[in-house]
Structure 1
């Protein structure tokens, strides 16, 4: 009985099959060690490193993109200021929107582009989620507004045509009056360059002068007071339709410009959201 109890008290060896070789204890089960978790800290470190590398790549791409975006805004703003300084007398043809000139549009557009590009650059350099999200939201709002304007333009083309012609005819009555030298110069340049007269017909000017007369810029051969001569010496083409035909002939260039603008904006949105997600991942895995 004593031998049996002593034999039972000794630890038994674990034998591997029938080979007679003692089997080693399982890893992590001896000496009170807890079993190791497969792919623990090493896996997390690898994910953190991958997230960091992706973040750095997107960071530099977005910085370069927004730097070019900002420089483009500077260029647009510069052209707008140059037009305002050198061509200050050239204004809009619309009497309802007297401030809607090419110079003012370029200045406003350039300013917005510069602000958005600056926010994007700082957000990329600082890896700031708030700035990245702000950049994304601002660019998305502008993109949606542009898309809305294009859709409304094609849906209400006829109504826009009628309103534009009515507004332009209303603006004719300001031609040659005090304080409207910009509108006067604009009509003179358009009628001379496009070889047209009036909005829908040269007779539009008869209501302005209350007589059979047109501006001298309507004449086939310009001379002083040539607008008082017979209608045979005037351009007959309506300016509205002439400019409209010119735009239709250059529709491909306008379409390419619009498509490039949309692609740049979509690219900016993609960069911003991708970098935002990478910053979130880096904060999650590397916290």
Structure 2
């Protein structure tokens, strides 16, 4: 009877080990995905981040990069802890899982909070940023971001092309009689911004603010879904870890 029970417990432990190993492999892959989403946000869309007054959007991406890197290291540690059957390593692994879980939930919560306040922030700040900082000394990153925004989303100005009439740069002699930046043109050429006709420049309803808002909202959904989704998967890993930990004999001290 005792031998049968011991055999049953051994089989259960082996099953838990392989389940936890499989989880760790998938977890390691997921860590790479999480980190990739964060890095893509920071590298590919860093210019757009400079147009936002709040750092919440960037903070969410940084948290995902950090969490993804820790996840990949933790996945390797989890495999070692599983096959070596060391309770101390399993304890460390569980604590790391818990920390990553909290980081990713935080990223998801930040993304959700910023999702709620984004529209108001853009309305209050995007126009002022564009008209006051475009083509101004030490704001080259803003100039680059605005040009990229207008070309990528085929728009002109924050709310409309008329916003550029208030621009510090347009009012100065440096604009060389341009009415809008050349990046507003459907076919950008030098000084093409002198002609305001709809056949020449983008006159999109809602201007760039609507386009940028829709882009960031969609990306915030991705950040939030990835963060919360992976966090939920980690709960399974923590349950497996607890079960394996309990099934192993206590280490002698």
Q: Answer yes or no: same fold by TM over 0.5.
A: yes
For 2:160 and 2:92, how far apart are their aligned partners in 1?
53
| Equivalent in the alignment of 1:234 | 201
Contact 1:59 1:275 (C-alpha < 8 Å) held by counterparts? yes
* Cα 1:67/1:186, change in 2 over 3 Å: same
Aligned residue pairs, count = 236
Deviation at 1:164, TM superposition (A): 1.8
Deviation at 1:275, TM superposition (A): 2.0
Contact 1:92 1:183 (C-alpha < 8 Å) held by counterparts? no
Larger Rg: 1
* Cα 1:106/1:149, change in 2 over 3 Å: closer
Q: Considering Cα pairs closer than 8 Å and 6+ residues apart, tell me whether 1 or 2 has the greater RCO.
A: 2
TM-score of the superposition, structure 2-length normalised?
0.72
TM-score of the superposition, structure 1-length normalised?
0.65
| Larger deviation, residues 125-134 vs 65-74 | 65-74
Q: In angstroms, what is the RMSD of aligned CA positions?
A: 4.0
> Could you say which structure has the higher helix fraction?
2
For 1:70 and 1:245, how far apart are their aligned partners in 2?
27
| Equivalent in the alignment of 2:184 | 218
| Equivalent in the alignment of 1:51 | 12
Alignment counterpart, residue 79 of structure 2, candidates 108, 124, 147: 124
1:145 aligns with 2:111: no
Secondary structure of the residue aligned to 1:66 is: helix
Deviation at 1:223, TM superposition (A): 2.8
Deviation at 1:126, TM superposition (A): 1.7
Secondary structure of the residue aligned to 1:165 is: helix
* Cα 1:75/1:230, change in 2 over 3 Å: closer
1:165-244 aligned within 5 A: 165-172=123-130, 173-209=132-168, 211=171, 213-230=179-196, 232=198, 233-237=200-204, 238-244=207-213
Deviation at 1:97, TM superposition (A): 5.1
Q: Which runs of 5+ in 1 are unaligned?
A: 1-38
* Cα 1:108/1:153, change in 2 over 3 Å: closer
